[in-house]
Structure 1
């Protein structure tokens, strides 16, 4: 295997994940088997218990790992499901080292950072690559060079070159070149210091990638090359673009793919970048346009809904349309706001989430969509919201609610899953990963997925609560269609409710799963593609597009 390590300097949040994913896309476009690993130096075991406002969304893998959002970028750009162990944290590493020490695996040794912690880091990287059957493994080291918590990881990746050989290891360092408007010049000094700091840990970068507002002029590239001892044709400009799907094209145009081929001794192959070219063309020059309202509670932090936003983009590309997003803060949404917030949109989306904040606002959004014929897509909590709203206002179940929000509700139409009743702790204890959905024939969702009668599809989940099966008959008698179930789950007959819809409505579909986690630019999520198509139809039949 070949290993490419991506580090960052100067400031955090430079976009190492997008840079790594873009490089992976270029290698995939050349036909190589590629996988990606994200190293997060925080002591948490995983991202599952972190605040979305602080860390963005929690991305769930097929195996059920709760990971950093960059894993989502890898899966979308590389069009693959990463194997277990692709998100490595300090917490995981030290937990395993301590377990081995307690088990006597180290015998009489004094357990230390070097070699025991660094060896565990290297083992995990190799296992992730082997599990994926990869020819090239991309490893992003989170944080910034100089962070104290990153030191064991930098030492581990330094050792890789000696373990695997120069021809099998490549170091790429991403830095920032700020532009000072007062003096009208790019400043390279932060990059020089960042590379010097990386070298102080024994790592000399083979490639320097520079984040900047605009493409760097040749004289700045030459200056960076001279002061970092990196060849000029191996300094690349990752400048601001309209959409992240332009990044692979911009880097390929500068020759990044060829530079990596040369450094790792790979065969020269002309890449097939048609998917990215088509996506960028549609995003920049769409044939149509639609606005979707997202009624959530993390509206000030779009990264909390990153995969969902990307899924809307993918669905837009599939429908030759630009999807604008109108953020609606569910916590502040009142009856008097509904027309102003939703009267000019093509569709309403209620995303997943936890906790009681904003719940009544989300219920108002679902009711508006149902009664006004506005296309509605509910994701996870958004499905539970749709069920609560329908139970209250159509099925006559006054006071219907979820036990998550009111454990004394008169009608507990949503409740804790039975297998969750004895669970202790919060980390990694939800229903996670890929689960099957059996779709009922003749339903909207079965048509979207294109499955035969009684066919099954798999989507990813992250939840503790479910629709109470005791209320399903009453909801169905009131006209709600249960269009998908988990087949034979835990001997409970039809199993957990996976999706619901309202027959006769232009588009009212809600899923317990998170289909956004499996959406790709080249393979849009069927529920999202259908939702955007229905929203376009509504908007084109008399509604003017709203401004996002």
Structure 2
């Protein structure tokens, strides 16, 4: 029977529930168990697809085309298990589905209520597609006491009755702050948070206590006494040098042992942690370092590029070097001395994004990389900017632009209105809804046999995840290729450009998709590994 682990948070947000859940999943995997992780988001947005990156961080996209919370990226990176649409749900989606059913008359005139209709929907989500799984880990967004989170708390309370208390484990993540004036840690916030949780009927089995200082044995015993948990189940969670050391830290604290004990499992095999010890060794013993300049528009909110950041780290792990990331605001490049900012960089990356703001700075960065022969990597909008730069500065198409920024006589990039997916022909109209209307999810592409991209992948057949509304206009292909920008990857029907490159450049690749979404520390994406390798060569030249 599948067992369920529910993770809640208290005191403050951003305590690392997602990272803790991903680490626990990795530890259970290391013992041979099959695990899946899910995220419950109490906010009323249907999905994070229309939310500003400054509000929500990046939007993580699954193979099956769901726009999800960035924590699902942690889940995939730590477990290697591909996330699905059924792994992330919001209050907005639940209410949307229930109201649609009510409008269709499915409730036969009955009163629709939070209990049982909303809570039943939440429980159904938790129990969907669990065949063959040993554990399902469900993280509840927000903190205990949030009004919008109450239906989720009630639902997971009910789960203990539905599947049996022995098949449910509750983990509560809290803050144990250090008060500098008093010179001591304070356990009272944790006590109050657990009291709040117990007041709605949930007794935690394990407490994970985030702190900047080690948790003394006396404080651990005090928390255990007041919160009605075993002393051994009070797990200290200190800051780590790298997020990829967190599984090892939690194992040393006994987190996986205590979770298994909560289920009455005392004969579990010992974990095989060589994957994580190898990664830790690479992090602590780099053989060099490189500096990558990321020219974007959301640089004030690093979580907007979470998967990108981690993929660059993974590229460093693959090459045994430390990657220093310099976040460069594209708007500051407009009319500025671009060379002064970019000359110290060993590689330049222009990531995805939406809207015109900062676009001229991105184009200037592409030109610098092309002319100075600095390794360049363009992702999604970054690839589109590379095509516009070539059109303007090499092909002489001075009006080259994208219809995303307004009407243009030379639409190097335009709105895609039709494409094929597993569900058949997809169509979109200008001015339509923004939510869930992009080219989303995994799509295949074919690479030219003699291309740099094919040599990097080691294959001419690839499948990568997309999230965009606009495509490079293949009608300009001949004119751009005449200037050395080769369309080396196309959709299987030959209509949509997927990869562009400059074979005469040390490393210049642009991709329409988001390869960072598939990169993992133990399986770095080949494009990022190749980009960092090129940056290493560049560092030897300067």
Q: Same fold (TM over 0.5)?
A: yes
How far did residue 100 of structure 1 move? 2.0
1:226-265 to 2 correspondences below 5 Å: 226-265=225-264
Map of 2:84 onto structure 1: 83
Q: Give yes or no for contact 2:60–2:70 (8 Å, CA) kept in 1.
A: yes
Map of 1:50 onto structure 2: 51
Map of 2:169 onto structure 1: 170
Q: Give yes or no for contact 1:84–1:128 (8 Å, CA) kept in 2.
A: no
Q: Give yes or no for contact 1:275–1:521 (8 Å, CA) kept in 2.
A: no
How far did residue 128 of structure 1 move? 4.5
Map of 1:463 onto structure 2: 468
Question: Of the candidates 485, 492, 497, which is equivalent to residue 487 of structure 1?
Answer: 492
Q: Give yes or no for contact 1:37–1:128 (8 Å, CA) kept in 2.
A: no
How far did residue 144 of structure 1 move? 0.6
- Quote the Cα distance in structure 2 between the aligned partners of 1:339 and 1:41: 46
- Quote the Cα distance in structure 2 between the aligned partners of 1:60 and 1:77: 16
- Quote the Cα distance in structure 1 between the aligned partners of 2:308 and 2:228: 42
1:104-119 to 2 correspondences below 5 Å: 104-119=105-120
Whether 1:441 aligns to 2:454 is no
Aligned length: 531
1:526-545 to 2 correspondences below 5 Å: 526-541=526-541, 543=542
Q: Give yes or no for contact 1:40–1:89 (8 Å, CA) kept in 2.
A: yes
- Quote the Cα distance in structure 2 between the aligned partners of 1:437 and 1:369: 26
- Quote the Cα distance in structure 1 between the aligned partners of 2:122 and 2:175: 27
- Quote the Cα distance in structure 2 between the aligned partners of 1:414 and 1:101: 42
Q: Write out the 4+ residue segments of structure 1 that deviate beyond 3 Å after TM superposition.
A: none
How far did residue 117 of structure 1 move? 0.9
- Quote the Cα distance in structure 2 between the aligned partners of 1:331 and 1:129: 47
Tell me the secondary structure at the aligned position of residue 291 of structure 1.
strand
How far did residue 271 of structure 1 move? 1.1
Map of 1:546 onto structure 2: none
Map of 1:31 onto structure 2: 32
Q: Give yes or no for contact 1:5–1:138 (8 Å, CA) kept in 2.
A: yes
> Where does the alignment leave 5 or more consecutive residues of structure 2 unmatched?
419-426
TM-score (norm: length of structure 1): 0.95
Question: Which is worse superposed, 180-189 or 276-285?
Answer: 276-285
Tell me the secondary structure at the aligned position of residue 337 of structure 2.
helix
How far did residue 167 of structure 1 move? 1.7
Tell me the secondary structure at the aligned position of residue 118 of structure 1.
helix
Q: Once the two structures are superposed, what CA deviation does each residue of 1:39-83 show, in whole Å capped at 9, x if it has no partner? A: 000011100000001110000011111011001111111111122
Q: Once the two structures are superposed, what CA deviation does each residue of 1:454-509 show, in whole Å capped at 9, x if it has no partner? A: x2110000000011111111111222111101101xxxxx1200000011100000
Q: Give yes or no for contact 2:66–2:84 (8 Å, CA) kept in 1.
A: no
- Quote the Cα distance in structure 1 between the aligned partners of 2:5 and 2:186: 27
Tell me the secondary structure at the aligned position of residue 86 of structure 2.
coil
Q: Once the two structures are superposed, what CA deviation does each residue of 1:365-404 show, in whole Å capped at 9, x if it has no partner? A: 0000000010000000000010000111112211211111
- Quote the Cα distance in structure 2 between the aligned partners of 1:107 and 1:171: 36
How far did residue 237 of structure 1 move? 0.7
How far did residue 421 of structure 1 move? 4.7
Q: Once the two structures are superposed, what CA deviation does each residue of 1:400-441 show, in whole Å capped at 9, x if it has no partner? A: 11111231x232111111325526201100000000110111
Q: Give yes or no for contact 1:335–1:364 (8 Å, CA) kept in 2.
A: no
Question: Of the candidates 421, 426, 442, which is equivalent to residue 434 of structure 2?
Answer: 426
- Quote the Cα distance in structure 2 between the aligned partners of 1:108 and 1:498: 51
Q: Give yes or no for contact 2:428–2:437 (8 Å, CA) kept in 1.
A: no
Tell me the secondary structure at the aligned position of residue 397 of structure 1.
coil
Map of 2:422 onto structure 1: none
Q: Give yes or no for contact 1:83–1:128 (8 Å, CA) kept in 2.
A: no
- Quote the Cα distance in structure 2 between the aligned partners of 1:304 and 1:128: 30
Question: Which is worse superposed, 395-404 or 147-156?
Answer: 395-404
1:168-207 to 2 correspondences below 5 Å: 168-207=167-206
- Quote the Cα distance in structure 2 between the aligned partners of 1:519 and 1:129: 25
- Quote the Cα distance in structure 1 between the aligned partners of 2:416 and 2:369: 28
- Quote the Cα distance in structure 1 between the aligned partners of 2:428 and 2:391: 24
How far did residue 335 of structure 1 move? 5.2
1:53-452 to 2 correspondences below 5 Å: 53-130=54-131, 133-266=132-265, 267-334=267-334, 336-407=336-407, 409-419=408-418, 421-422=428-429, 424-451=432-459
Map of 2:516 onto structure 1: 516
